[in-house]
Each structure stands twice: as C-alpha cells, then as structure tokens.
Chain A
C-alpha cells in the first residue's frame, strides 16, 4: 500500500462511516468481494480474523430474525443479508486496518492519544504475561485438581499479586526513566 499510515487511518474511518450509509445488500456484497480480492494473499486469514469476534453475535441475530420471520410471516431475507453483510464488511475493514496500519505511526500528529495507547497497550501485554506466569507457578505446585472454592481463592490471589507487581513495575520504570531524562512529559 503506497499511502502513509495517517492517510490509511483516515481512509479506514471514512470507509467505516460510508458502510453505515449503504443499505443495499448487493452493494455491500460487492464491497466484501472487492475487499477480499484487494487484501492480498492472506485474505482467508484476514476473513477468519474478522469473522471470529462477530460470528456469535451474527448467529444470534440471524437466528432471532429467522424465528421472528417464521412467527410473523414477514420476509426477513433483505434485513438478514443487509445486517450480516454490513457487520462482516466493517469487521473485515477493521481487520485489514489492523494488519496494514501501524497505529504508532498513524497517530504521530496526536501525541497525547498515541502516548496513552502505547502505555496502556504495553501494560495490557505486561499484565497478561504476569497473570500467565503466576498461573503457571500455581499449576506447577498443585498436585490434585482444586475445588471451585480453591480456584476462586487462587484466581483472586493471582489477580492481586499481578496487580501489585504491575503497579510496582510501572512505577519503577517511570521513575527510572524520568530520573535518566528519558521522559519528556
């Protein structure tokens, strides 16, 4: 893609809004086909990545619509196609954007937002790793399967320990970087 990352991000935002203004399933189907064709050789992986978070919600809405149509006798095919295609096109657009847009570069003109996105994203990764570490440590020392009560207690202890460690790490890193003149906030 020859465009810069900020341009790609703006194009994505414009496309998302445009999709919510289209109410013809045929146009949305064409868009979906166009997106899949132009998204490169990993299009199947992209479609799977896009479909996974919305699959259950679409299944629930579609089955609800079919039941409603069956009970009332009203045609629901148009609404069924429209809603499913719109949600899928939007999810595919988001998955494509996530693959091809570097948010750090795209948000270079909005440093406050970029700063917080980077900080929180790093903390999320750190927090998950801490929880995983503690969970592994707990499992390796547990011989018999814990009861539900023990699992709740264990999860609470792991969560609080990870929170302590996360806060401690974040404070230490911030103080160390600030004292060395690395932070300019």
Chain B
C-alpha cells in the first residue's frame, strides 16, 4: 500500500515528518537495549524477509499498491519500536532500490505501515493471546493491515481537499474518500487474510526455533 512520490502534498508530508522524526529517534534510542547482540543478525534477516514480502506489488485503483507488509511479523517477534524502525529501513530501501514509495511519502508510509501497523499488531496480539495464541496472531495481523490501509486511504483521500489550484483542480492525488476507501480497503481484506496466514506460519516457526524470547519455553 505504498504511496508513491508526487501524490501527497507538502501540507501532508511535512507534518507527518514532524511526527515521525521524534518517533524514529525514540525507537533508535532503545534499539541496542531491546535487541541483544545475538538477535541482531536475526533482525536483519527478518527485515530482509519483510522487504521481500512487500516487494511483490499489485497496483490498486486508489493510487497505491497492494502487497503483504511484513511489519506485523516484525512486531510480534521483536516488538513494535524495533518493527517501526526496521520497517522504515524497508521503505527507504524500496524507495532507493526499486523506486517504490518515495522519500516525500516516507513519513506517511512509515507512520501508516510501520508505526500504526506494528503497534496495532502488537497490542491486539497481547490482548487476544490469553484466548488463543494462533487466533491472536491471525486477528492481530489482519486488523493491523486493515488499520494501515485505512490510514493510507484517509491520507490520499484528504489530498483533493487540502491541495487545490485556484480553479479547484487537484494538485496532488485527485480522488476523495469515496474512491480511496473502497479502492484500498476492499483488496486489503484479502491481502490482510493472506498476510495473517503467512505471518502465523512464520511466527510458529520462529516460536519453535526460540527466536521469540517471550514465547520461548512457554508455548514451544
């Protein structure tokens, strides 16, 4: 669900940058503390996995693209702050290596997918875990994908309202919420379900391998 460069206005990406910078700083500050020496190579591999998952893109009518995100998996294995930072790196690499997304869109993409996606998955998983761990993973990732997609749709649909020419013509993304909400949310119902299943597969594998310290020994 990357927003490409050139579709969102400075009125949007500059405030998003103001919000994202302190969050990146906070996340980076605690990185060494949260990820021990032995987990660093694992984090690099999981970040690479998230990159590969989110590289398989399908353009959507809402001006964005559909693909698995992988941030839910990062959040469940490493926690939401580390996931936010790692996913920002994925977005930077995608912008710089593949031309997907973009640098002006980076703060919005990072907040929508990296921050909201990671925190939604993490909080919902811990809320539902007492019910059933597998169900908690599925529900957490599915809802996280939908929340991220909702935020992207809201940001894109806002553009014609806040960035118009003198004659009322759109300067950036031209369609309102009546287009962006269904165009982005409906395909993400399927993408979210697929990503939830994929995340469950990898999460169970990571738990068996004791790559998740909090789950190791308790549910293995």
Contact = CB atoms under 8 A, between A and B. Distances in A.
A174 B41 contact: yes
Interface stretch (A32-40, A143-151, A156-164): A156-164
A57 B4 contact: yes
A20 interface: yes
A29 interface: no
Nearest to A120: B47
A77 B140 CA distance: 43
Given A17-B104, A90-B5, A127-B48, A170 B98 contact: no
Tier of interface size on chain A: 35 or more
B191 interface: no
Given A20-B9, A117-B92, A124-B48, A78 B205 contact: no
A116 B44 CA distance: 8
Contact of B61 (A60, A82, A97): A60
B99 A94 contact: yes
B7 interface: yes
A76 interface: yes
B19 interface: no
Interface in B65-92: 65, 89-90, 92
Contacts, number: 154
Tier of interface size on chain B: 35 or more
Given A94-B99, A112-B28, A68 B89 contact: no
Given A86-B172, A123-B47, A167-B45, 7 more contacts: A16-B104, A53-B99, A57-B65, A61-B175, A90-B5, A95-B99, A163-B45
Interface of A: 13, 16-17, 19-21, 23, 49-50, 52-54, 56-57, 60-61, 64-65, 68, 75-76, 78-79, 82-83, 86-87, 89-91, 94-95, 97-98, 103, 112, 116-117, 119-121, 123-124, 126-128, 131, 156, 159-160, 163-164, 166-167, 170-171, 173-174
Interface of B: 4-7, 9-10, 13, 28, 38, 40-42, 44-45, 47-49, 51-52, 59-61, 63-65, 89-90, 92-93, 95-100, 102-104, 165, 167, 169-175, 179, 201-202, 205, 209, 211
